[in-house]
Amino acid sequence: MTRPFAGLADWGTTSFRLWLVGEDGTVLGERRGGEGMATAAGEPGGFAGVLGRHLSALDAPADLPVVACGMVGAKQGWVEAPYVETPADPDTLAAGAVRVPGADRPVFILPGVCQRAEGRFDVMRGEETQILGLQASSRQGESGELVCLPGTHSKWVMLEEGRLSGFATFVTGDLFAAIAGHTILRHSMTPGDERFDVPAFGRAVRTAFEHPAEFSSWLFAIRAGGLLSPDDAPHAASTLSGLLIGLELAGAATRFGGLDGHTVRLVASGPLAERYRAAFTTLGLDAIEADGEAAVRRGLLAAAGKILT
Amino acid sequence: MTRPFAGLADWGTTSFRLWLVGEDGTVLGERRGGEGMATAAGEPGGFAGVLGRHLSALDAPADLPVVACGMVGAKQGWVEAPYVETPADPDTLAAGAVRVPGADRPVFILPGVCQRAEGRFDVMRGEETQILGLQASSRQGESGELVCLPGTHSKWVMLEEGRLSGFATFVTGDLFAAIAGHTILRHSMTPGDERFDVPAFGRAVRTAFEHPAEFSSWLFAIRAGGLLSPDDAPHAASTLSGLLIGLELAGAATRFGGLDGHTVRLVASGPLAERYRAAFTTLGLDAIEADGEAAVRRGLLAAAGKILT
């Protein structure tokens, strides 16, 4: 096999992904596992052990350098890589990398990004690498490009002139679970119901987008609707999802000066991509979909190029 | 003792209150207990047993009629009293009362109120009696009077020409518990911290009132602020409370055409009254405080007058 240039690791809270790459980014080998930041310290040999075993399984040279991003660099991770502040760019990220002391090979952990401007405190770890990896394929207009990464804590990020200039986190998925499981709406949910009712979802997206201030009242309407018009009750989960995603889009629109004037790049896959696609369509907005895995690999490779050469 | 005219019961999910009153509303005796709708069925003799024991403790005549309101009339209660629709007034409520079959004394349960207009499904049980009981002391302007009843499921109600013309429920307290206990914000909360930091609360009220669309993003800012500026972390609970109450006020303002043009009557007591008072003051709004207990008793008495005479 071609001698690899580096190992690139996307090391999150609950997942681990590793690629061996050549200097031009060619993928020479790949591994994935569940030993995320939350459990890696408890594995044999801790973080070093997890990384070592995955590298061995790929027959990586013993001295191969590794560059990692994500929650592995949090305070509870392997070694803390303090946040760099917005605006951040590939150079800032590479300069903020922390080398793991005492590791038996060079291991660098990229920092997360924080925002303090105007009291809009926010943090991310991992998404910044993904987002800056999108830049190569970016079509930034004059007003910048918005990137949407949906999830438990959805991130909306503004890219301007190759820099991550600002961002906002929306706790959409986290709220869904808390509301569906721990408020009166739990009585409206059908356990195990994974159906995605597109019309109910679309109506809810539009409602929350147009009336975001009344969000908490529309939540109760799900419960009341179930009592007054039980035939609609099976759509409670789709409606809740639509209200939360509609609220997120309304928030991103006001935070970043409207969604119409921007190219929005949607980084998602599977059912989550389907929902956000449906939400954008409902509101008549355009979004370009992007592959998050390719993006994080490109971002890690760019950082590795700066750190290792 | 003067022979009482009726027993009046405010029978909610978790609480029971009973007054013996004369025909003019004079209170001749009072009892309160924890045998709410949620547990009364499991007490000896069920709902009838609970009511009978409290009446006996007050030496009430064996044939004294009783009028009750609240969750006792829900599907899971003693006997279901179906909702009447908005607009509702004292006559509608009295006409919707359901007599408990087979009880050893006349017992009437007042209905709740539901709203179906414009798909704004909503329900209440108990608050309608309280609100219509406020009418005697109401100063309704041309634009109607708004009543705010804060709580787990805060109710905002529009009174126009003596009728309950529309309302909205905001799941404010329910969301507080779910978010503080079951999202990432649980890491920001200090267990047992009951402090009410007025400046942090006021800032949060204003933030959510002015930027309701960004609500879910400001939630995450509590977490991020704790990571980036830990000295502010002790105020997390006050900030969360302020964001939720600010969102509720923003929702009520858009739902009912602004808060400036209305007299708002605030029905609350204790710490909850303190918070809503602080929120109104922060936003420069006026609210007149009202006694909820006196109001429900007046509402029950008015209904009893129509049903029993």
- Tokens standing for A13? 């809270």
Percent pLDDT > 70 in chain A is: 96
Q: Which domains are delineated in chain B?
A: 6-125 (3.30.420.300), 169-290 (3.30.420.310)
Residue A157: its pLDDT value, please?
96
Does residue A194 have a pLDDT over 90? no
Residues in contact with A232: Cβ distance below 8 Å, sequence separation at least 6, in sequence order: A200, A225, A226
Q: What is the mean pLDDT of residues A25-29?
A: 96
Pick the residue from chain A with its C-alpha nearest to B252: A214
CA distance B90 to B307: 11
Residue A93: its pLDDT value, please?
95
Does residue B142 have a pLDDT over 70? no
ipTM: 0.94
Sheet hosting strand B122-124, strand order edge to edge: B84-85, B113-115, B122-124
Q: Which residues of B265-290 are buried (b: 16+ CB within 10 A; e: fewer)?
A: bbbbeeebbebbebbbebbeeebeeb
- Tokens standing for A53? 């075993």
Does residue B136 have a pLDDT over 60? no
Q: What is the mean pLDDT of residues A184-190?
A: 93
Residue B2: its pLDDT value, please?
75
Give the best-scoring range by mean pLDDT among A115-129, B139-153, B228-242: A115-129
Is the pLDDT higher at B161 or at B251?
B251
CA distance A73 to A303: 15
Torsion sign across C-alpha atoms B259, B262, B266, B267:
negative
Record: contact B229-A181, CB cut-off 8 A? no
Find chain A residues with C-beta within 8 A of B216's C-beta. 170-172, 175, 244, 247-248, 251
Residue B278: its pLDDT value, please?
97
pLDDT tens for each residue of B213-254: 999 999 999 999 999 988 866 789 999 999 999 999 999 999
Pick the residue from chain B with its C-alpha nearest to A245: B216
Pick the residue from chain B with its C-alpha nearest to A153: B220
Residue A137: its pLDDT value, please?
53
Find chain B residues with C-beta within 8 A of A224's C-beta. 114-115, 121-123, 169
Q: What is the mean pLDDT of residues A262-268?
A: 89
CA distance B300 to B65: 12
pLDDT tens for each residue of B15-58: 999 999 999 999 999 999 999 999 999 999 999 999 999 999 99
Q: How confident is the model at residue A117 (pLDDT cuts 50, 70, 90)?
A: confident
Torsion sign across C-alpha atoms B250, B255, B258, B261:
negative
Distance from CA of A147 to the nearest CA of B (A): 16
Distance from CA of B261 to the nearest CA of A (A): 18
Record: contact A214-B168, CB cut-off 8 A? yes
Pick the residue from chain B with its C-alpha nearest to A217: B170
Q: Are B172 and B211 in contact (CB under 8 A)?
A: no
Q: What is the mean pLDDT of residues A140-165?
A: 87
What DSSP line would sit under B221-251, residue for residue?
HHHHHHHH-GGGGGGHHHHHHHHHHHHHHHH
Of A114, A216, A254, nearest to B171 by CB-CB distance is A216
Find chain A residues with C-beta within 8 A of B224's C-beta. 114-115, 121-123, 169
Record: contact A122-B221, CB cut-off 8 A? yes
Question: Can you name the residues that pair with A6 across neighbouring β-strands?
Answer: A21
Residue B138: its pLDDT value, please?
56
CA distance A196 to A219: 18
Of B172, B179, B221, nearest to A178 by CB-CB distance is B179
Residue A261: its pLDDT value, please?
74
- Specify the DSSP element, H or E, that contains B109: strand B107-109
Residue A195: its pLDDT value, please?
84
Residue A136: its pLDDT value, please?
52
pLDDT tens for each residue of B82-115: 999 999 999 999 999 999 999 999 999 999 999 9
CA distance B290 to B265: 6
Record: contact A121-B229, CB cut-off 8 A? yes
Record: contact A217-B174, CB cut-off 8 A? no
* Mean pLDDT score of chain B: 93
Distance from CA of B241 to the nearest CA of A (A): 14
Specify the 3-state DSSP secondary structure of B173: helix
Q: What is the mean pLDDT of residues B117-123?
A: 91
Does residue A140 have a pLDDT over 60? no
Does residue A227 have a pLDDT over 80? yes
Distance from CA of A75 to the nearest CA of B (A): 10
pLDDT tens for each residue of B182-204: 999 999 998 877 789 999 999 99
Record: contact A228-B175, CB cut-off 8 A? no
CA distance A111 to A233: 45
Q: How confident is the model at residue A121 (pLDDT cuts 50, 70, 90)?
A: very high
Q: Are A306 and A110 in contact (CB under 8 A)?
A: no
Q: Are A241 and A176 in contact (CB under 8 A)?
A: yes
Residue B262: its pLDDT value, please?
78
Residue B260: its pLDDT value, please?
83
